[in-house]
Amino acid sequence: MNSKPHPASNVLIIDDDPAVGKTLAAILNKSGYLVHWVGNGNDALTYLKNGGMINPLTVALIDIRLPDMNGVDVLREIKSLNSDYGAIMMTGDADLETAVRSLNEGAFAYVLKPYHSDEIKSLIEKVLDKQRLLLENRALIERLKEWNIELEKKVQEKTAELQSKNMTLLGVVEKMKVINEMKSRFVANASHELQTPMTSILGFSTMLLDYWDRIDQKEVTKFLQIIRDEAQRLTRLARDLLDLSRIQDGRVDIAKKKIDLKIIAERVRENLHLLRPQVAIEISFEEAAREIISDQDKIQQILTNLIDNALKFSNDDERVQVSGRLQERSVIIDIIDHGVGIPQDKCEKIFESFYRIHDDIGKNVRGAGLGLPIAKALVEALGGVIQVESELGKGSTFTFILPIEVKQIRTPTGDKE
Amino acid sequence: MKILIGEDEVHIITLLKFTLEIAGYEVRVAQNGLEVIEQVRLDRPDLILLDVKMPEMNGWQVCEKLKSDEKTKSIPIIIVTAFVQKEAQDRSLELGADDFITKPFDSKALLVCVDRVLQRKKARD
């Protein structure tokens, strides 16, 4: 037989006959096996238990008749230590029953003495081949299992990724829905606000045309005035809508220059005083809070909208106070009125487009509900914040804070989500 | 024939009043939702023109209230609103309004609508 032994394969000879043990050991050693010879069953088991043969490619040659134990029992013990160990039984007398028992216990072959060493070597190689196949098979199965686990993990990862993407998409869809709803509501409100003055303009002009001969001069004048007023209201409204949408979309240019807040406030007072001469507007600015670097027109519009709002909700003979002070690198501007005040739960709502507090507090005041949203959007575009504190029946304080030097143009402020 | 106008915009009130009076109707005005309910109780009109966007109580709420009350449900209501969307019309009719007109309205169309609703009411009675 010319089969080459595996370099690291072990052979354990268990035989009390030194003639057998030594000779066989010598022969097998020469063939390249790592051979160990013991004379009885206990020695064999101790040797194995102490880690004598770590290599799974191990073949035990077991004599059936040992001084201390029966070879079949030794076989059973060895198999219980490691079922991978191969075993070949050797015996001097042919006994079919023992042969069958040995094979049942997992022996690979049963050899009758005297034997030829080539026969033994060939059997050993066969056992080793079987063991190698077994090991390879096991390794393959392990790898398959690993692949499976890896695959499963990858599937799970991909699933999780997909799910998270799905969630993100759902979130985006939800957000879009909300934005869409906001836009539709805005358009519905804007259309409503535009239709109202349009109704007057169309109605009164039609009236004048249809009943020209039946309307007296005084009424003609009154109707024409209404038409003019409503046309102006329409113009203001169109301008406000355009402003608001431009600021909210971030399409706003900021003209940076040194400005005087007190002078701007005084100019606004001059413009607004005629609207409500019964309400005094008081202006006081700390010297240090007067000059900032910002956008003059935008601040004028903010002040106009806030002071106009304060005037609307003030009663005759009350006053509106506008004051400015410096705090670190910001100016804080307060617009204080002593009018009707805002219910606590409406303090956020008043900055929403088209919200009109008088629909809730019953005070009928002009305006479409765009002044405060525009003021808020402008303050934010200039890098500031705005808030309101109010007490019903006592009045409101609108406070906006601006940096003393405006940074570059900010991107969309948008409506609140 | 007595018509009650529920409307908070003074110019629209003037316009409606003028149009209806010239056609021979007697006109009453209420400037918010609660006032409409009050006026109906005090001086029962033959027909109500209701704006939707009013302080205190909006036109839809007023319509729902009047139409769910046995004593007032037979008074015809026409909703007059600048909400031009189909949903606004559906909502009005759902709440029991007898008709619906959008602003800006044509004065002749308004009178035709008022007349039609009153004729229908007469036929029912």
Res A408: pLDDT: 64
Closest in A191, A193, A214 to B84, CB measured: A191
Which residue from A203, A207, A214 is facing B104, i.e. has the nearest CB? A203
Q: Which chain B residues are closer than 8 Å to A204 by Cβ?
A: 11, 15
Mean pLDDT value of segment A310-331? 90
Say whether the peptide bond before residue B55 is cis (omega within 30 degrees of 0): no
Query: Would you place residue B66 in the very low, low, confident or very high pLDDT band (cuts 50, 70, 90)?
Result: very high
What is the mean pLDDT of the segment spanning B100-125? 91
Q: What angle do CA A336, A340, A342 make, to 5 degrees?
A: 80
Partner residue opposite B32 with nearest CB, options A193, A202, A362: A362
Distance from B75 to chain A by nearest Cα, in Å? 26
pLDDT in tens, A12-46: 999 988 888 888 889 888 888 889 999 999 999 99
| C-alpha to C-alpha distances, A158 to A150, A151, A163, A172, A299, nearest whole angstrom | 12, 10, 8, 21, 53
**Residue B11 in contact with partner chain A when CB distance is under 8 A:** yes
- Give the span between the Cα atoms of A25 and A16, in whole angstroms: 13
Is there a contact between B103 and A211 if contact means CB atoms under 8 Å apart? no
CA distances from A367 to A97, A233, A372, B2 (A): 113, 9, 11, 32
Q: Which two tokens stand for residue A120?
A: 């033994």
Cross-chain Cβ contact B82/A230 below 8 Å: no
* Contact across the interface for B83 and A192, Cβ inside 8 Å: yes
pLDDT of the residue at A360: 58
**What's the full length of chain B, in residues?**
125
Rg from Cα positions in chain A: 50
- Whether the complex's predicted ipTM is more than 0.90 is answered with no
* Chain segment A122-176, per-residue pLDDT in tens: 999 998 888 889 889 999 999 999 999 999 999 999 999 999 999 999 999 999 9
CA B109 to chain centre: 14
Chain B hits for A357, Cβ within 8 Å: none
Distances from the Cα of A222 to the Cα of A131, A182, A325, B10, angstroms: 113, 38, 47, 13
Q: Which residues of A touch B (CB under 8 A)?
A: 188, 191-193, 195-196, 198-204, 206-207, 210-211, 214, 226, 229-230, 358-360, 362, 364
Tell me the CATH number of domain B2-124, given options 3.40.50.300, 3.40.50.2300, 3.90.245.10, 3.20.10.10.
3.40.50.2300
User: Over 50: is that where the pLDDT of A1 sits?
Assistant: no
Top residue of B103, B108, B111 to mutate, by most chain A CBs within 10 Å, is B103
Q: A203 and B15: CB-CB below 8 Å?
A: yes
Q: What is the rounded CA–CA span in Å between residue A183 and residue B113?
A: 33
Nearest to A199 among B18, B53, B105 (CB): B105
Quote the mean pLDDT of chain A. 86
Q: Which of B32, B56, B82 is opposite residue A195, by nearest beta carbon? A: B82
Q: With an 8 Å Cβ cutoff, is B82 touching chain A?
A: yes
Can you give the pTM of this predicted structure?
0.59
B106 → chain A, closest CA residue: A203
pLDDT of amino acid A263: 94
Domain boundaries defined on chain B = 2-124
Q: Is B9–A206 a contact, with Cβ atoms under 8 angstroms apart?
A: no
A364 pLDDT tier (thresholds 50, 70, 90): low
